[in-house]
Chains A and B, each alone.
Chain A
Amino acid sequence: MDAPFSTQLVNVLAALLLLIAFAMLSQRRVLTLIKLFAWQGAVLTASTVVVAWTTGYTDLYISAGITLSLKVILIPWLLHRLIDRLFIRWDIETLINIPTTMLIGIGLVIFSFALATPISQMASTLTRSTVGIALATVLLSFLMMIVRRKAVPQVIGFLAMENGVFFAATTATFGMPLVWELGVALDVLVATLIFGIFFFHIREQFESLDIRHMEKLRQD
């Protein structure tokens, strides 16, 4: 495999990641949202493997393994189980209508590319455009957390944000030290479990997972 081809491959995967982030932003159904999240994890795994293959950093294979088992299999499965047990199948309401959200999203992408340009200059050729895309994914997930009212989509937004950050870690720096990645993976897993516990508590108290019910504590 020659270098330009692998670069193209990473770029295609980066573009897919961004596309999935937009798809999540426009998706109304919670089950599809979880499926998209799993796909995003799969793309992340693939890009990690490509980078590992091209650069020969073996640690990255382990990192890809962690991503695969955690973000493609374990967490989506946990979320599925949760929504089965909680009987939530509703469509997602958004605070802003979807076309407007998409327009804001496009603005965010342009902003992230502008911000990342000076950094891209000094990145290696393999990863030139990926810092901008990683940043855009983070910001789009952030946007998703802001415009969604229900608890589950907010959590998926948080996890997608983590995906964006990891994409930056694997492509821009060829992977962070492995110990550190294990630590982060553990934190993400524990966070998901706590979110799960939370869903039950919230349901018990509010009989709904709608964050709108939680407006007792005012700004002042």
Chain B
Amino acid sequence: MEVAIVLGLPLSGAILLALVGQRAWAPELNATMSFATFFAAILLTARVIADGPILALNEQFFVDPFNVFLVALTAFVGFTTALFSRPYMRAEQDRGRLNAARLRLYHSMYQLFMFTMLLCLLSNNVGAMWVAMEGATLSTVLLVSLYRTPASLEAAWKYFILCSVGIAQALFGTILLYFAAEKVLGAGGGALLWTHLHAVRSQLEPTVLSLAFVFLLVGYGTKVGLVPLHNWLPDAHAEGPTPISAVLSGLLLNVALYSVVRSKVLVDGALGHGFSGGLMMGFGLLSVVVAAFFLSRQRDVKRMFAYSSIEHMGIMTFAFGMGGAVAAFAGLLHMTVHSLTKSAIFFTVGHASQVAGTQDMASIRGLVQASPTIGWGLVLGTLAILGLPPFGVFTSEFMVLTTAMHEHSWATPFLLVALGVAFASIFGKVQPMVFGESSVEPLKRGPALVPVFTHLAIVLALGLYIPPYLVGWYRQAAALIG
């Protein structure tokens, strides 16, 4: 029942906003629907914590500690982003970059995007998971090109083509998975249900599954933004409206990684841990290193933070690849804190580029003087994402590093160098943006900074003290996937 509500709310929101999304109060409606979704997600979470995993609607949906925490996170960030998008999109309309018709598209697709992500997370059917993932691409592609500038069209085209090709590979992987499952479970819908597959995973044919995993990893990995499949990501993040950059970076990448990890659990049952773990560690490490070195060459602020997302997704992929209770715990924690921090950064960066009228870092100067809250928000967000204690990112990165030293010591120098390079590049670029003299006008509309500081406060709190129930929750989830 809760599952149906969690999915039904954003879907009805999408339909509703498709009708009235151009009205003056549409942003408020968007935020209200997102809040309702968040509230329903909380209820679902409470139910799962109390009663354990649930299967719903003819076994088509499955909720366990692993996906319910992502559902809660997705709904929460979806809600705060809707709050942020209220003043932000109005300011964009004032600047003449948008008209009412496009705002309607924006609001409706925003809700549809939330729906597809939640569907992907909650689905027990690996086929439906694929359909939802493709749906997430389709609902955001027109949002990336919302401004209709040549650069945004190019970014959206790239995003569309690359992700469609990627997702076609994942489709092939899903078919191979079904091909192997059908031999054990018999034909029909049951052979696509994750819980059924999980029960018989040790009997599945290893060669087919190894090939299936390669296709699934490449396919969903394109959406995670793993190097060398990451080309769409910086463009889509830089050219789309900022709320979309925030949800793409903070949520979609997580959901794609979730699909990879779900597949990995099945493959590990048949093949043992080495194969999938090795592949994921390789892709993860490559992403961390390549992204870190690209960071220093960026001029556009949103592009730079997009590369930072690739780096962090690499860290998570590496952590899940290592496997084991501690690494999986660290990966889950990193998913949470990265999602919160990165969306907070995009919020401040969005306002900062509205203040300065450009996304070019060289032209943004003296933010602290022009607008102290935006400036300090950016400083704190940057320090948090760079992994400075006491923020939560430090905790998770520290756990990943210590596990890596312990189990795969060859990888630690790469990770440490990459983290160092990333620190130097990002800090070196953000510092002149926030401090120094400024000549810009403050924003006419008050910026939405409550979401920024809420996110950063949670990240700080997670760095200082993780409440025992949350630890238990992460532990259960880690046990499921480790």
Contacts and interface: CB of A to CB of B under 8 A. Distances in A.
A202 interface: yes
B160 interface: yes
B192 A176 contact: yes
A151 B157 contact: yes
A179 B154 contact: no
Interface stretch (B88-96, B127-135, B270-278, B434-442): B127-135
Interface residues of A, number: 48
B161 A154 contact: yes
B148 A205 contact: yes
Interface in A124-173: 135, 138, 142, 145, 151, 154, 158, 161-162, 165, 168-169, 172-173
A195 B176 CA distance: 28
A206 interface: yes
Interface string B207-249: 1100100000000000000000001000100110000000000
Interface string B177-204: 0110011000111011000000000000
A181 to B, nearest CB: 9
Interface stretch (B138-146, B356-364, B449-457): B138-146
A111 interface: no
Given A119-B211, A122-B183, A173-B175, A138 B168 contact: yes
Given A115-B211, A161-B168, A194-B142, A217 B151 contact: yes
B134 A187 contact: yes
Given A162-B168, A183-B127, A190-B138, A176 B175 contact: yes
Name the interface size band of chain B: 35 or more
Chain B at the A interface: SS class: helix
B297 A177 contact: no
Contact of A187 (B138, B153, B188, B297): B138
State the main secondary structure of chain A at its contact with B.
helix
Given A194-B160, A198-B157, A220-B298, A184 B138 contact: no
A173 B182 contact: yes
Contacts of A145: 161, 165
A180 interface: yes
A69 to B, nearest CB: 19
Contacts of B125: 180
A168 B151 CA distance: 37
Contacts of B150: 205-206, 213-214, 216
B178 A119 contact: no
B297 to A, nearest CB: 4
Contacts of A57: 187
Given A122-B208, A194-B138, A220-B298, A172 B179 contact: yes
A73 to B, nearest CB: 22
Contacts of B135: 187
B156 interface: yes
Nearest to B167: A187
A201 B156 CA distance: 11
Contacts of B183: 122
B376 interface: no
Contacts of B158: 214, 217
Given A177-B189, A197-B142, A214-B153, A119 B207 contact: yes
B172 interface: yes
A118 interface: yes
A191 interface: yes
Contacts of A138: 168-169, 172
Given A180-B131, A217-B155, A191 B175 contact: no
Contacts of A37: none
B171 interface: yes
A113 interface: no
A217 B235 contact: yes
Contacts of B148: 201, 204-205
B164 interface: yes
Contacts of B161: 145, 154, 158
A119 B208 contact: yes
Contact of B178 (A142, A173, A194): A173
Given A119-B207, A173-B178, A187-B134, A214 B154 contact: yes
Nearest to A124: B183
A190 B160 CA distance: 12
B205 interface: yes
B294 interface: yes
Nearest to A184: B131
A133 to B, nearest CB: 13
A165 B175 contact: yes
A2 to B, nearest CB: 23
Contacts of A142: 165
Contacts of A194: 138, 141-142, 160
A20 to B, nearest CB: 18
Nearest to A127: B179
Interface in B368-391: none
B138 A172 contact: no
A177 B294 contact: no
B151 A180 contact: no
Contacts of A206: 150, 153
A162 to B, nearest CB: 6
Given A158-B168, A187-B135, A214 B157 contact: yes
A55 to B, nearest CB: 10
6 contacts: A161-B168, A162-B168, A179-B127, A190-B138, A214-B157, A217-B154
Given A176-B175, A177-B189, A186-B131, 4 more contacts: A118-B208, A161-B168, A187-B131, A197-B142
Interface of A: 57, 115, 118-119, 122-123, 135, 138, 142, 145, 151, 154, 158, 161-162, 165, 168-169, 172-177, 179-180, 183-184, 186-187, 190-191, 194-195, 197-198, 201-202, 204-206, 211, 213-214, 216-217, 219-220
The 3 closest A-B pairs by CB, nearest first: A180-B127, A183-B131, A214-B154
